[in-house]
Amino acid sequence: AQSVAQPEDQVKVAEGNPLTVKCTYSVSGNPYLFWYVQYPNRGLQFLLKYITGDNLVKGSYGFEAEFNKSQTSFHLKKPSALVSDSALYFCAVRPQGGKLIFGQGTELSVKP
Amino acid sequence: DADVTQTPRNRITKTGKRIMLECSQTKGHDRMYWYRQDPGLGLRLIYYSFDVKDINKGEISDGYSVSRQAQAKFSLSLESAIPNQTALYFCATSLGFGGEAFFGQGTRLTVV
């Protein structure tokens, strides 16, 4: 079955420290990969996507993600976390065939 | 104005009632989706449509139906609402195979 896993329900980091939010996937072929962020009482906002090319993808708000085909992972990273980055983060994959599948989400908490 | 608009934003309904959630978009996208969000479960796909004549079931379509009235409109119906359909519902759109999804603000539905 096609699936996306975010192994951590919650990630806590101190402001200024680097952050990583993990994502692994299980789909056939060469999927498209996405990260979204959800702030309280809001819809999801697109952060970045990987389609092809360079394994390191840069996105909005200083976030980046590293695609690793052998490990089927697409981890979200940021060199220096801000308190305002605190939110719910979703990884998503679109396998060949088209429907967008989401992980269960990771709550990021950045403390001052 | 929002690119993806959901109505209503909040709704309380009684068990057994029929209810329709509406979604309209001004982005000109061909693909539209309905998801529900439950705490700890992420976003689960209910139905999706790749164009006006295409409707597909997602992973949790039981108890729901949809109508793609036009390229810009995609409505979700609960024929006979039940309490475990209480959730936050999101409509999303995307363009083609590689386009990222854009989300509406969500509809919070409570079935009592």
Chain B residues near residue A5 by CB distance under 8 angstroms:
none
pLDDT along chain A (112 residues), means of 10: 90 98 91 93 90 91 94 96 96 83 94 95
Indicate the average pLDDT of chain B: 94
CA distances from B63 to A44, A68, B80 (A): 25, 38, 7
Residue A53 at interface with chain B, using a CB cutoff of 8 Å: no
Contact list, B43 vs chain A (CB under 8 Å):
44, 90, 102, 105
B103 touches chain A (CB under 8 A): yes
Between residues 20 and 39 of chain A, which touch chain B (CB distance below 8 Å)? Answer: 32, 34, 36
Which tens digits make up the pLDDT trace of A62-88? 999 999 999 999 999 999 999 999 999
How many residues are listed for chain A in this entry?
A: 112
Say which of A51, A99, A104 has its CB closest to residue B48: A99
Angle at CA of residue A25, ends B66 and A98, nearest 5°: 35
Please give the pLDDT value at position B62.
96
- Residue B39 pLDDT: 83
Q: Tell me, what's the pLDDT at A99?
A: 82
Please check whether residue B17 is in contact with residue B109, taking contact to mean a CB–CB distance below 8 angstroms. no
Residues 1-60 of B with CB under 8 A from A: 4, 31, 33, 35, 40-45, 48, 50, 56, 58
Buried b (16+ CB within 10 A) or exposed e, A82-96: eeebbbbbbbbbbbe
Nearest residue in chain B measured CA to CA from A5? B42
**Stretch B31-43: mean pLDDT, rounded?**
91
Residue A88 has a pLDDT of 96
For residue B105, what is the nearest residue in chain A, using CA coordinates? A43
The per-residue pLDDT for A46 is 94
Digit-coded pLDDT (tens) for B48-87: 999 999 999 998 999 999 999 999 999 999 999 999 999 9
Q: What's the pLDDT at B1?
A: 56
Cα dihedral across residues A49, A53, A59, A62: positive or negative:
positive
Q: What per-residue confidence (pLDDT) applies to A19? A: 97
Tokens of B22: 């509406």
**pLDDT at residue A95, rounded to an integer:** 82
